Amino acid sequence: MKALQLFLLAVLTVVATGLETSQGRANDSKEGLGIVHYQPEQVHLAFGESVLDIVVTWNTRDNTNASICEFGVDERLQGRVAAPQPPTKFVDGGSAKATQFVHRVTLPNLKPNTTYFYHCGSELGWSATYWFRTKFEHSDWAPSLAIYGDMGVVNAASLPALQRETQRGLYDAILHVGDFAYDMCNNNGEVGDEFMRQVETIAAYVPYMVCVGNHEERYNFSHYINRFSMPGGSENMFYSFDLGPVHFIGFSTEVYYFTQFGIKQIVMQYDWLERDLIEANKPENRQKRPWIITYGHRPMYCSNDNGDDCANHETIVRKGLPMLDFFGLEPLFYQYGVDVELWAHEHCYERMWPMYNYTIYNGSLAEPYVNPGAPVHIISGAAGNQEGREPFFKKMPPWSAFHSQDFGYLRLKAHNRTHLYFEQVSDDQKGKVIDSFWVVKDKHGPYADLN
């Protein structure tokens, strides 16, 4: 009996030693020893150089040395595209120098109005299978978009509704008008990673088109530049794309405020904007896509009592560099007949009467947005953040048509060449449409020719 007891004790000792050794290896693995991270995450889409070129972007923690997207019109995924270049190494500017690899694959020359299934990764690991529906290259269709800015990982008030509506196929594209995550660089980039995981439920199914905000400034906007893939090769800072009867232009307002990165960026963007607007105003282009809609983060005008620049009379984005009035965007957008200007930054919703240089140019008293004589400005920066809501002036200016502190987001339906429909959805009021209006124009072009 004693011999049996000694034998069992020896066996238990060996087992315990093995468990301890295994636990030690597990602890070592938790510290990153021997673990590889090849699994794709943070999958999102964007339009490429045309709406039938879809760019798929994702991240891995370790370098797979390959970026592959398999896709098809059914779940057999019979198509396959490999990126011609290896993934981009992105090192966060924080103390930990956290590293990840950004993968980009363009699916070119897709068929219009077709549902595609896809997954992305490499032979070392694949994402789940997602889907998207392509658009038309021509202008004779009516796209629908969700538009918002200022959405973080804390109190992302609009995210659940946007997830649900995207999955139901309500939108052809998303415009996120600056300020992501609050902030993407925080915690050595972990906040940015979490934000991109959260919006994957939207952005992996519909093109997620973005512009930069002030909260992306750290490390010379490196998180914004590296994480997204907008068309045009300008590090995502300014670009344009066509969708149905609309020519959309995304740009950076931040070049006017973070001049420590150089004045040259202001000049480059301004010159590009003018060239793009000249091209969009060629008769054959304006006939095909008469609507021009811009989106940038910081507004030219606002009614918020918080000391922001848009509450000042001589807003930098509007007037240009202080004392010089060089490179102001309001005269440029007026000159080339921009129809609607979308903004965020203020954590609210505000619709303004058509105006230029603080002067209202309503189409008529009864129908202010029918053939207006100036651009229509809309602020929708209330998708959800931890900084709170923005206060308004006690006495609202005459050019402010409607305002709300509710968290929410904007919808746009570009019905045709003459009619746009907007509505603001309130998350506080469980999806209620709190404001809606039509912009109607039977003639588009420079306002000097229209007035």
Pairing mode, if any, of strands 355-356 and 291-295?
unpaired
Q: What is the pLDDT of residue 448?
A: 84
pTM, 2 dp: 0.92
- Asked if residue 6 has pLDDT above 60, the reply is no
Q: What is the pLDDT of residue 451?
A: 73
pLDDT band at 367, cuts 50/70/90?
A: very high
pLDDT in tens, 74-117: 989 999 999 999 999 999 999 999 999 999 999 999 999 999 99
Helix or strand run (H / E) with residue 3: helix 2-30
CATH architecture, domain 141-449: 4-Layer Sandwich (3.60)
Domain ranges of the chain: 36-137, 141-449
Contact 425, 144 (CB under 8 A): no
- Asked if residue 21 has pLDDT above 80, the reply is no
pLDDT band at 321, cuts 50/70/90?
A: confident
Domain 36-137: state its class: mainly beta
Helix or strand run (H / E) with residue 107: strand 99-107
Please enumerate in sequence order all residues whose Cβ is within 8 A of that of 416, keeping only pairs 6 or more positions apart, or say none: 142, 245
Contact 138, 113 (CB under 8 A): no
SS3 content of the chain, % helix, strand, coil (to 5): 25, 30, 45
**Buried-exposed string 390-416: b where 16+ CB fall within 10 A, e elsewhere:** bebeeeeeeebbbbbbbbbbbbbbbbe
> 133: number of CA atoms within 13 Å, CB side?
12
Q: What is the pLDDT of residue 302?
A: 97
Structure tokens at 375: 């651009």
pLDDT in tens, 377-398: 999 999 999 999 999 999 999 9
pLDDT in tens, 157-212: 999 999 999 999 999 999 999 999 999 999 999 999 999 999 999 999 999 999 99
